Structure 1
Amino acid sequence: MFKIACHGKSDVGLKRTNNEDSFAVEQNLGVAVLADGMGGAAAGELASRFFTRAALEVFSSADSNDDSNNPDPIERTFTLANRKILDHVKENPEHRGMGCTAELLAFKGPRYCLGHVGDSRTYLFRNGQLTQLTRDHSFVQDLLDKGVITPEEARVHRFRHVILRAVGTSESLSVDVMRGEVASGDLFLQCSDGLTDMVEDDLIVQILATGDPLGVKAEKLISAANAAGGYDNVTVVLSEVVPVV
């Protein structure tokens, strides 16, 4: 038997005046969600909040775990958030172009389910190894996959923030959904690109490998991003699989 311990933290960074990231953790529901808004100050903040609120709405509903008559709650969340953002833009055309990236991680029994859209990321830290579970939906990732550029070039490419898929920008939305088994000691990291643009994987591993509480690890990850320049908002959510004694 396992339980899930979660901790999230968000920081505006050193260069921005507003925070377009949003996150929510509900340990009782086994849900951790993170979204990074785009579309300007007010619109970006709204888009990310639309997503986190949609996730809590879906997973808090009495039938969220009813597999017989309802679509998967991961898919339902993305569909609901997509519709809410599109409806908002129809009523507020000055916010046209708003949307968000999103990471939604749900735990049920010995399994996890992950929904992903955009260039925020989810990693699994297991037995000292950091594995990226998600693939960026970005122009630069496509170039990288085709072998046009190297990973080193991708980190500094001038178009690295061009996103090819986001929540709330189109009537149709394709969601990457991944499932797997959890193991005792697993540590999941969800983060906005404000972390991964600034902090190398080796340093992330060093921080996650410490015996520090989740809150301290989150603080250290954000401090590392700001120490490297803090050019963007940075948000991290950590979810640890803890055995029940």
Structure 2
Amino acid sequence: MDMNAVLQIVTRSDPGMVRSNNEDAVMANPQRGFAVLADGMGGYNAGEVASGMATALLGTELEKAFVAREPSSEDASGQSWARVTLRAEMARVNGAIYQAAQSQPQYAGMGTTLVVGVFHDNKVTVAHIGDSRLYRLRGEDFQQVTRDHSLLQEQIDSGLITPEQARHSQNKNLVTRAVGIDPEVEAEIHDHEVLPGDVYLFCSDGLNDMVEDEEIAMTLGALSANLELCAMQLIQMANDNGGRDNVSVILVKVKGEYPAARGWWARLMAWFK
């Protein structure tokens, strides 16, 4: 299914006000209905290399996989092709970045976060590693869809600190999971129901560290009719508040339903479940 008709997608990335280079990378494939955001880390330009590798490799491999098979089709274990592909390809990207970091001294220690969304069958399959986020605006309701793989989130979960204390912590960038740092890493993958009118925001921490969630929600609510303007405004707000990091956003607006095409046998099986 060509998702262009039901999804509007805008991507923006900016170095911010302090850093000279941009270690974030973004890509979207509106036709196949997926988006990828990566926030690289590492000395010199190594973070740039890691995030660039991650988005380029995933962009290519997901496209190939979803041309070959519908993301909603299931394998023998009942898992969707979207889930199977995301798990396999994110593991492969991790291996590629890890090998590059091991074999080339200038890339030693490089890594990246990843957040990926695949829109199919009136849902979105979300895979993430690290602290880049996905948010959703549905009507008046604004929610963070992903949970950070970070030291701060672990401290919040264990009751050591409150979310308010976390906002002012110095330990913002300590991730507990990243792509390319270890030989293996597991992506966290979940499916979420999608409704027409939903607006999804993928972002690097350069946005949510600089701009409060309430302000992000108000901006999305006010400007979601013009996604280009909305993306520019979110980046401007981060920069106005100091822009201490690179800031990247992907906005996805859902314009209609997109159920998977199913044959009579699949419909019959679904009816009996």
TM tier relative to shorter chain: over 0.9
For residue 180 of structure 2, give the secondary structure of its aligned residue in structure 1.
coil
In the alignment, what sits opposite 1:226?
239
What is the root-mean-square deviation of aligned Cα atoms in Å? Answer: 1.7
* Matching of residue 68 in structure 1 with residue 75 in structure 2: yes
- Please list the CA deviations of residues 170-197 of structure 1 after superposition, one character each: whole Å capped at 9, or x if unmatched: 1121211010221010111000000000
1:92 deviates by 0.3
In 2, Cα distance between the equivalents of 1:114 and 1:240?
16
2:101 corresponds to = 89
Give the partner amino acid of 1:222. I
Kindly report structure 1 stretches of 4+ aligned residues shifted beyond 2 Å: 62-71
What's the counterpart of residue 267 of structure 2?
A: none
Q: Distance in 1 between matches of 2:173 and 2:101?
A: 22
Q: TM-score, normalised by structure 1?
A: 0.94
C-alpha distance after superposition, 1:146-186 (max 9, x if no partner)? 11112121112111211110011111212110102210101
Distance in 1 between residues matched to 2:115 and 2:44, nearest whole Å: 21
Mapping 1:158-177, distance limit 5 Å: 158-177=170-189
Q: Summarize the alignment of residues 54-203 of structure 1 with structure 2, pairs less than 5 Å apart.
A: 54-61=57-64, 62-63=67-68, 65=70, 67-68=74-75, 72-203=84-215
Cα offset for 1:67? 4.1
Which structure has the greater CA radius of gyration?
Answer: 2
Number of residue pairs matched by the alignment: 244
Provide Cα deviations, 1:68-87, integer angstroms capped at 9, x if missing partner: 37771211221121011012
Q: Which residue of 2 aligns with 1:241?
A: 254
Identity of aligned residues (%): 37
Aligned pair 1:215/2:231, yes or no?
no
Partner of 1:41: 44
Matched to 2:251, the amino acid is: L
Deviates more, 1:132-141 or 1:69-78: 69-78
Q: Following the alignment from structure 1 to structure 2, what is the Cα–Cα distance between the partners of residues 213 and 227?
A: 21
Does structure 1 residue 5 correspond to structure 2 residue 17?
no
Deviation of 1:90 after TM superposition, in Å, equals: 2.6
**TM-score, reference length from structure 2:** 0.85
Are the counterparts in 1 of residues 91 and 186 from structure 2 also a CA contact under 8 Å? no
More strand by share: 1
Specify which structure has the higher proportion of helix.
2
